[in-house]
Amino acid sequence: MEAATLERRMGQSSRTTTAMLEALFDETNSAAWEEFHGRYGPIIRAVARALAWAMTTRRMSRRKH
């Protein structure tokens, strides 16, 4: 999916602002961390799963040769 299409589907509220990132410097700011986790948690998990799959596939292909 193109970035512009994804941005339209997610809306303006999905933009990462400097204020949001600065709020994360305060580790006691639970609202900022909840927002970050809610927004980026699924993305981070998806990337981790994709990397794990790629690494597993690579290891399995090496064993076959």
Does residue 7 surpass a pLDDT of 70? Answer: no
What is the tens place of the pLDDT at every residue in 17-60? 999 999 999 999 999 999 999 999 999 999 999 999 988 888 77
CA 62 to chain centre: 29
- How far is residue 48 from each of residues 13, 20, 25, 37, 56, measured CA to CA in Å? 25, 23, 24, 15, 12
Categorize the per-residue pLDDT at 10 as very low, low, confident or very high, splitting at 50, 70 and 90: low
